[in-house]
A = this chain, B = another copy of it.
Amino acid sequence: MTSSETDSPGETPGDVSSRADVGLLSPVRAGGAAETATSDAAFLRAMLDAEVALVRALAVVGLAPSSAVGDVASAADRIRFDISDLALRARSTGNPVPAVVADLIAQTAQASADHIHQGATSQDIMDTAMMLVAARTLDLVIADLDHVVAGLAAIARAHRDTPMVGRTLTQHAVPITFGLKAAGWRSVALDARDRIAVVCRSLPAQLGGAAGTLAAVRAYAPTAPTDLGARLVTVYSETLGLSTPTLPWHTLRTPIADLGAALAFTAGALGKIAADVLVLSRTEIGEVNEGVGGGSSAMPHKANPVLSTMIVATSRQLPALAAILVAALVAEDERASGPWHAEWQTLREALRLTGGAAHAAAGLVDGLVVHPDRMRSNLDLTHGLILSGHAYVDLATRMPAKAARTIVDDASKLAVSSQISLGEAMRSVEGAPSGSTVTDPAGYLGFAAELTDIALERQAAQ
């Protein structure tokens, strides 16, 4: 039923808005491009694209008149579908395609309408629509990841030699550079970018008919060459810009599992960056902060790391959503009762959350403020203990390892218990040679700069 005719009992525009979700509970995606790309309207548009592509493919292989293509395409563009009504009608069939098809047929001239959805099953259209929506959203994700990667490269270069504390198990360990940390962030962002790109390139169209044999297509052309089916699928897929599947994949859910894995990876990679920013933003640490902080309703002075928070929130949801999606592989028969249906909202949520997080990450990287002075002063908080490893190697090159270990351990304990610097303590410990010059954190950075350089050479795989 189209919106101009809408008059379903108990349903008014007010009712519609009383059901809608426009992102009030999901600020990470509210108003963003990924949200629009995964909206109900976007899914409807993708279903219509699939139906039009099918008519076009039927025409190419000779199973529909050319005139039908234009008729159906223009109907698909012209009709103002009532999405809310489609959603309600989807309840009786278990999926929205029959209602979409019915409305499309009703508004198309009969001769052309007869070719709408010809030979297809609901899942052909629904799956193809999911792939189209995924492809369109992943393009946005890739663009944002590219932005993140480029921004982090610039940060890593700028701070190639900026020393800071390396922290392990929450404790000061040894010095690192902020450049190395940023290069690491870039590295996982690039990993995410590569994984998304691989999946995006392989998203297949779906066309198999009732049980994946294209039986109805065959029945319409019983004497056609045996490659008719493959040709139809190829034209259909290419028309849509999707890859051509080897087999109908109604219950061979590789693309769904792959999408889940790539999206969860991306959310996790961005979550790593955000988690680090949260630590470094802590009031006591203060080594970085988000450029524009979120205000607090109770504390006027606070600048909260809002972008990082939203990204971390996303990274806590995606593993579970991906678990639902990979579990969809266990889909019995030629169409599954439940596993398939569990994919739709889950995939949409995974796409729009990750899309939102990628965009937030781009903003985070753009605005990140770095404080080398705080990094430097934090290096001194342990009064030299952060260099105990250096002091040990310094001794170990001059005496047996065991003796060196004992001296440094004793000095470290003394430094802690007497609240003196490691340097002072070393001078008090028996057996320690005089004249150690191990006092400069910048002198114990190992290969941080070289590792940063090497890591920055890596480019996106494609």
Contact = CB atoms under 8 A, between A and B. Distances in A.
Contacts of A397: 220
Interface stretch (A144-152, A309-317, A427-435): A309-317
B344 A170 contact: no
Given A31-B88, A276-B332, A296-B122, A450 B229 contact: yes
Given A211-B168, A298-B389, A306 B444 contact: no
Which of A97, A278, A338, A345: most chain B CB closer than 10 A? A338
A143 interface: no
Contacts of A73: none
Nearest to A292: B92
A60 interface: no
A448 to B, nearest CB: 4
Contact of A298 (B15, B122, B258, B283): B122
A28 B337 CA distance: 13
Contacts of A305: 169-171, 337
A432 to B, nearest CB: 14
Contacts of A250: 168
Interface stretch (A235-243, A264-272, A364-372): A264-272
A399 B167 CA distance: 47
Contacts of A41: 17-18, 20
Interface in A1-37: 11, 15-28, 30-31, 35-36
A42 B412 CA distance: 36
B94 A215 contact: no
B445 A283 contact: no
A107 interface: no
Interface in A312-340: 312-324, 326-340
Contacts of A253: 268, 272
A324 B330 contact: no
Interface string A81-97: 00110111011111111
A184 interface: yes
